[in-house]
Amino acid sequence: MEYTADRSGDTLRVKISGVLTFDDHERFKSIVNLIAKGEESEITLDLGQIKMIDSAGIGMLLLANDKAVKESKKLNLTGVTGHVAKVIELSKVDQIIPIS
Amino acid sequence: MVQAVDIEAETHDGRVPKSPVARLLLGTIESANLILNETTVDVESQAHRLSALFTSLTDSSTEQTDRLSELVSQIASVEYDGGQVDLVALPRILEESLEEVTERILVLSKQGVSLIYSLDEILEEIDELQSCITEIEAINRQTRLLSLNAQIEAGRAGEGGAGFQVVSTEMHTLSKRIDALSEKMRGSTAIVTRSIKEVISSIRTEYAELSEIGAMDLTHQIDAKEHLEILLNALVERNDEIQGELGHSTETARRISDEIREVVMTMQFQDRMKQRTDAVVKTFDVVAQFLENHPDLVSDESGCDTLKQTILDSITLSDVRREFGQRFGLVDQVTNASPPGDYDLDIELF
């Protein structure tokens, strides 16, 4: 997994690419820290470049959302297509995290 | 069974009409009457039999449709756990089970990652704790050095430094105890760190094993869900087809029943025929009676007029009466007045 973070106004946009599986939990933690410690109240996770995601990856997205909610911030997902869209639909994550 | 009748008939009281024409007519009428009567009875019996058969046919047709409906409803569901489970609902039930399993995998995955994150934070705190221990050890080393220096200085001071000698010795003892304590703390933190790393390693191994059997990437679940959706759509489509066919079958059965009822209604011609035949038979009876009672009057013009009137008076069916009236030249009497009990043939027969 790779990621880039862009700050624009009150929004933190994190673009994730590659695969998001259990093996990426250490690297993903830095994204969770960005969400927790950043000043921005809106966070967008762009999943458009993710080729594959497993249940741990979905678990990490939910953890990121938990952290955002705990910090009174809003998190949403974007670029949800293909395999990622199928997994998100199956896991009903779209009922927990807004998708734009 | 038609019995042979001698057309050279006798009257009932044994009197034989004098006129050979009258005798011939009397015999002919009696024979014709007998045949007509038997035919009427036969037709009536057969018509009733046909009606009963057609009614039975209607009942069978309705019963067959009901059985077909029952069969279709039995095919569409199975009995399970004391209740009926709709086959169309089965993929949905399986899908719900699949969703439940997926949800548990997700909870497990999330909790696993969450646990690792928490343990990482504890490890960070332990690192901080170990830095503190290192700092304490450095301070303690300095304290011990100071106590040694104090002991040396107390020795040089002689008796005046005896008290200070005691204090510096105690400080040295205290420093040794701190050393022992920090060593113990270092040992404890090492054990905790090792335990936490083992837990993290264990979680990592569990994930690796789950990944190997494909429980983590959810590909199987996605495939299963897609297959269930296809199955569900196919079952719904098949169910619709069966319902459609059943609807056609019911419609056909209804049409058959309607047509059979129509046939039964049509067969009521027999009733009309019977009424007409009875009217003709009655007419013949009147003629025969007249011939018997007045065998000599048939050659007389006024006698024939009396017979015409007697015949006409005995007929109650309006169209039969009209026919005879026209034949006898008594049209006015027929059109202007109807005998009591007259009824039309178009009345509701059943």
Average pLDDT over residues A56-83: 94
How far is CA B100 from its chain centroid?
29
pLDDT score, position B2: 39
**B122 inside 8 A of chain A by CB:** no
Q: Is B119 on the interface with A (CB under 8 A)?
A: no
Work out the average pLDDT over B176-193. 93
- Per-window interface: A 50-79 vs B, CB < 8 A: 52, 54-56, 58-60, 62-63
Res A41: pLDDT: 94
**Whether CATH 3.40.50.10470 fits B88-217:** no
Which residues does B4 contact at the CB level (< 8 Å), separation at least 6?
none
Q: Which residue of B has its CA nearest to A65?
A: B110
Rg (CA), chain B: 60
Number of H helices and number of E strands within chain A? 3, 4
Residue B174 has pLDDT above 70, yes or no: yes
Mean pLDDT of chain B: 82
> What are the angstrom distances between the C-alpha of B46 and each of A21, B50, B52, B271?
87, 6, 10, 12
Q: What is the structure's pLDDT at B307?
A: 86
**A87 and B106: CB-CB below 8 Å?**
no
Among 3.30.750.24, 3.40.350.10, 3.40.50.1260, 3.90.1150.10, name the CATH number for the domain at A2-95: 3.30.750.24
Give dist(CA A13, CA A1) in Å, integer. Answer: 16
Q: What is the pLDDT of residue B5?
A: 41
Structure tokens at B82: 């004391």
Distance from CA of B115 to the nearest CA of A (A): 11
Query: Out of B109, B215, B218, whose CB is closest to A90?
Result: B218
Give the confidence band of B15 by pLDDT, cuts at 50, 70, 90: low
Q: What is the pLDDT of residue B3?
A: 43
In angstroms, the first-to-last Cα distance of chain A is: 22
pLDDT mean over A57-76: 94
Closest chain B residue by Cα to residue A89: B222
Residue B124: pLDDT over 80: yes
Give residue for tokens 């994730």: A16
Contacting residues of B for A25, CB less than 8 Å apart: 113, 116-117
Using alpha carbons, select from B53, B26, B23, B30 the residue that is nearest to residue B263. B53
Which residues of chain A neighbour B111 with C-beta distances below 8 Å? Answer: 59
Tell me if B5 sits within 8 A of B27, measured CB to CB. Answer: yes
pLDDT for res A35:
94
Confidence bin at B343 (pLDDT 50/70/90): very low
The pLDDT of residue B125 is: 93
Q: Which residue in the set A60, A90, A92 is minimally distant from B113, CB to CB?
A: A60
* CB contact A34 to B (< 8 Å): no
**Shortest Cα distance from B201 to chain A (angstroms)?**
12
What does DSSP say about strands A74-78 and A42-53: parallel, antiparallel, or unpaired?
A: parallel
ipTM of the complex: 0.86
Residue pLDDT, tens place only, B282-298: 888 888 888 888 877 76
Q: Inform me whether the pLDDT recorded for B14 exceeds 60.
A: no
Distances (CA, A) of B313 to B106, B188, B276, B322, B327: 103, 135, 16, 12, 14
* Structural domain spans, chain A: 2-95
> Which chain B residues are Cβ-neighbours of A22 within 8 angstroms?
109, 112-113, 204, 207, 211, 216
By DSSP bridging, strand B83-86 and strand B77-80 are: antiparallel
Tell me which range, A42-46, B162-166, B274-278, B282-286, is most confidently predicted by mean pLDDT: A42-46
Considering only alpha carbons, which residue of chain B is nearest residue A25? B113
Q: Which of A26, A50, A55 to mutate against chain B (most B CBs within 10 Å)?
A: A55
Taking 50 as the threshold, does the pLDDT of residue B194 lie above it? yes
Q: Whose CA is closest to B42, among B274, B345, B265?
A: B274
Output the pLDDT for position A53. 92
Question: What is the least distance, in Å, from the CA of B122 to any CA of chain A?
Answer: 15
Rg of the Cα atoms in chain A: 12
